[in-house]
Every structure is written in structure tokens, then in C-alpha cells.
Structure 1
Amino acid sequence: MNTDMKATVRMALLENAALISLLGGERIYQLAAPKAEEFPRITFFELDNASTHFADDKAFAAGISIQVDVWSKDSTSAITEQVNITMTELGFVRTSAMDLYEQENAIYHKALRYRTHKEE
């Protein structure tokens, strides 16, 4: 099994019609958005992807951590709820959520971290 989940995560988020509606379009990007002034938007990246279970000196499962960042000029709550629904449906468990505010740009930023295990 392929343990590269980045394309799977992006596709699942894009398929969430409620999320796309809240974002005002398909504003979901890996690592960085092409337009810094585009709000609201989501960026995401892989934090960790490492073999976690072994048998007969071979890895058979990987632990995968993904961070999803919600960026908005207003509340991030409704968008965060839809991200949580999608990530849970993919088999991820949220391991942390941080409310951040970037005062110099007046941007609300919600950092969400998720973890799952996948067989290799």
C-alpha cells in the first residue's frame, strides 16, 4: 500500500462540498497558497511519515502525521468543523488544534494536526 497520503488528503478535502462552499472555491493547497491575499484558504503538509510496525525485519505499517492550516479574516470554526469531518472519514485522529492570530496581517489561523496508521 502507498503511504503517501498528501494527494488523498487534498482530494478528500476538495470533495467536501460544504467545505468548498465555505472557502469560496477550491482554495486548498499543499504547503503554500499561490496568492497570499486569498482568504479563507487551507494549506496542509506532511509532518511525519515513518515505519512503525515491523515483522521479519520488514516494515508493514507507517505512522503518518498531517497538519492542516485554516487561514481566514473571520472565524475559522465552520471550516475547521468540515476539515475534522473529512479527516476523520479518512481514518485520521486529531492530535492537536491551536488557535493562532497573526496580528501584523489581521489573519486568524487554526493549526490542526492529525495522525493515522497505514499498512505498507
Structure 2
Amino acid sequence: MSFDAKAELSAALVNDFSLKELVAGGFHNRVASDVNAYPRVIYTELKNADDSYADNQARSSEARFQISIFTNSNTVNKETKIAKEIDQLMKSIGYRRYDSQDLYEEADKVFHKAMRYKKAFFKEEK
């Protein structure tokens, strides 16, 4: 099965006006282009694989993403609002959250909220 889950997610993030207003550092796939811009969102595909089979044919696939919100001491007050907006957006495109962690990266003095989502894609019958 082929589905470009990254393209779907990227389009959803950059086209969400409320999120764009909150996330001055932008949305990035795996690596931020400016590591000093806060708050920023980085999304990483964790899994994109066939999930269930019938008659040796994939009938569905599962995609999993980690959405990371990075803030510093000046922008950490926006973290919860950004997280709620992202959660609402992800649910609107069919994902469900299965994990969330609040982290602090001591070496960089950066707050990092990691949220993990998954979605099943079903093959359309021809």
C-alpha cells in the first residue's frame, strides 16, 4: 500500500492558521532549519508499514508519528495551547494519541513535549 502520510501531516500543520500563529519557529520534518527559533514543532515518522493481510495482500497500513513541541523559558507558556491545537488537528485527520511526555533537555535548556499518534489506513476496493 502506498500512502504519503508525511505529506498529509505536513499539509495539515502548515495550513492550520491557529497553529501558524502560535508556532513562530515553524514546522519541520526531523530537523529544524533554525534551532534558535521558539516555539517550534518537529514531526518524525516512527512507522509506516503494512498492518493486516488477507489473501497475501495488504489490507491496511499503520502510520505513527511523534510530534515534538520545543519551547524555551520565554515561550514555554505557549506549550499547552500548542499541544491542544495539535491534538485537535491530529484527531481531525484521523489520528489518535497513544502517548505524551513532558521532557526537559538540560544541556540545551529546552522544554520538549513529545506526543505520539497513530492512524490506520485501509486499502480501497477496486
TM-score (norm 2): 0.89
Structure 2 unpaired stretches of 5+ = none
The equivalent residue for 1:54 is: 53
The equivalent residue for 1:63 is: 62
Question: Contact (CA 8 Å) 2:24, 2:37: kept in 1 or not?
Answer: no
- Count, aligned residues: 119
The 3-state SS of whatever aligns with 2:35 is coil
Answer 1 or 2: higher relative contact order, Cα 8 Å, separation at least 6. 1
The equivalent residue for 2:29 is: 30
The equivalent residue for 1:96 is: 99
- For the pair 1:17 / 2:17, whether they are aligned, the reply is yes
The equivalent residue for 2:84 is: 81
Q: Using the alignment, how far apart are the partners of 2:111 and 2:59 within structure 1? A: 39
> Relative to structure 2, which stretch is displaced further, 16-25 or 58-67?
16-25
Question: Contact (CA 8 Å) 1:48, 1:63: kept in 2 or not?
Answer: yes
* Runs of 4+ with deviation above 4 angstroms: none
Q: CA deviation at 1:49?
A: 1.2
* Superposed CA offset, 1:27-86 (max 9, x none): 001000011111110001110111111111100210111111000111311110111011
Q: What amino acid sits opposite 1:51 in the alignment? A: D
Q: Using the alignment, how far apart are the partners of 1:49 and 1:109 within structure 2? A: 24
Q: What amino acid sits opposite 2:92 in the alignment? A: E
Q: What amino acid sits opposite 1:13 in the alignment? A: L
TM-score (norm 1): 0.93
The equivalent residue for 1:40 is: 39
Q: C-alpha root-mean-square deviation of aligned residues, in Å?
A: 1.3
Q: CA deviation at 1:102?
A: 1.1
The 3-state SS of whatever aligns with 1:9 is helix
Question: Contact (CA 8 Å) 1:3, 1:119: kept in 2 or not?
Answer: no
Q: What amino acid sits opposite 1:29 in the alignment? A: H
